[in-house]
Copies of this chain bind each other. A is one copy, B any other.
Amino acid sequence: MIRPTPAPRATFQEQVLDQLGRDICAGRYRPGEVLPSETELCERFHFSRIVIREAVKSLAAKGMLDVRRKVGTLVQDPAQWNLFDPDIITWRTQSSGVDRTMSRDLMELRRIVEPAAARLAAQRATPEDRRNLRAAYDAMVCAVAGEGDYVAADLAFHTLVLSAGGNQFVRQMHVAMNAILRGSFEIVSQKPGGPAFSLPMHEALCRAIEQGDAAAAERASLVLIDQADHDLLERLDLGG
């Protein structure tokens, strides 16, 4: 379901944006370097200046580039990038396959945010949130039974947990979180009995949020994270 290349007939700007974004995330242009001049990029891509300029502007808006007259467009230090930007996350995960540092940072982020999000969800989830969460859990059960995509169902469940607390900044992190969750769930789904084993704790988390039990929700979330970290570290130590 992932589309490695840009949509077949996206606009030219989108194609250039995607290519440059990938190039930078893959390190083909390094921080501090200057990109080729607009005219040179025009020649390379065989597009007009407008197309190149608007792509560059988009990357600058994401904090990846700093464009200055007479000097050119500089690649910014990754600390300046909008790391929660969905495009940047996509490019980074596709290019370097989520490098070791990013994996560690994302695992830490999850451990910091998800239990707190579960707490908030238990305290504040609306009836609709609770229904959606239960529906997402049911979809996971179906997936385990062979009906549907397990990884997608698990991702949807965790995204809902982040949303249900009603905190806009917590919800915003779901794209970044998905990057590490996906890796984790793919490992689980490849283990014989992996998905089935993870179901009970998801059920516990779902029930705790439904019943408004913040402490139980936080505990359940932490157990899931312990399991996931165990799986991921195993894979990382093997040089995955």
Number of chain A residues close to chain B: CB under 8 A: 38
Once bound together, how far apart are the Cα atoms of A101 and B168, in whole Å?
A: 9
Q: A50-B50, A84-B84 are in contact. Are A109 and B58 (CB under 8 A)?
A: no
Q: How far is the CA of A207 from the CA of B113 in the complex (A)?
A: 26
Contact partner of A170 (CB less than 8 A), chosen from B60, B82, B112, is B112
User: Within the oligomer, what is the number of copies of this chain?
Assistant: 2
Bound form: Cα–Cα A106–B172 in Å:
13
Nearest residue, chain B, Cβ from A107: B167
Determine whether the beta carbon of B109 is less than 8 Å from that of A112.
Answer: no
Query: Which residues of chain B are near A85, meaning CB under 8 Å?
Result: 63, 82, 85
**Dominant SS at the A interface?**
helix
Any B CB within 8 A of the CB of A155: no
B116 close to A168 (CB less than 8 A) = no
Give Cα A234–Cα B101 distance, bound, in whole angstroms: 41
Partner of A54, one of B57, B120, B173: B57
In addition to A13-B57, A83-B169, A112-B112, 12 A-B residue pairs with Cβ atoms within 8 Å of each other are A57-B58, A58-B60, A61-B61, A62-B62, A63-B85, A82-B84, A82-B85, A84-B84, A85-B85, A105-B167, A108-B169, A109-B167
Which positions in A face B, CB cutoff 8 Å?
13, 50, 53-54, 57-63, 78-79, 82-87, 101-102, 104-106, 108-109, 112-113, 116, 120, 167-173, 176
4 residue pairs, one from A and one from B, having the closest CB atoms:
A61-B61, A58-B61, A112-B116, A109-B169
